Copies of this chain bind each other. A is one copy, B any other.
């Protein structure tokens, strides 16, 4: 079974920010980590990922810079900002609340 993107829609920003809390990273790597952590059951599509980066940068949650210039294939690294940390905190709380509510709404028995 695989998890459709719509099931996680609205939480992509949270995932990315939570990842960046652990340190700067770049698109390809984040995608790999997500795929690995979910045992391949969930995979952010590239288009989705880069859309999210753009959105997060526009809202001041992350900043970016080119790294590995000259060495390997060029990489654009992303770093979380102070605003991003606050947003991330808020999104994590929202996820906890979403879980609670959903569990209550999906209860089948009395």
List, in ascending order, chain B residues with CB within 8 A of A106's CB: 14-15, 18, 92, 95
Are A102 and B108 in contact, with the CB atoms below 8 A? no
Most chain B CB inside 10 Å of its own CB: which residue of A4, A7, A8:
A7
Instruction: Report the copy number of this chain in the oligomer.
Output: 2
List, in ascending order, chain B residues with CB within 8 A of A6's CB: 9-10
| Minimum Cβ distance to chain B for residue A41 (Å) | 6
Are A1 and B92 in contact, with the CB atoms below 8 A? no
Is A42 among interface residues, defined by CB-CB distance under 8 A?
yes
Interface residues of A (CB under 8 A from B): 1, 3-4, 6-11, 14-15, 18-19, 21-22, 34, 37-38, 41-42, 92-95, 97-99, 101-102, 104-108
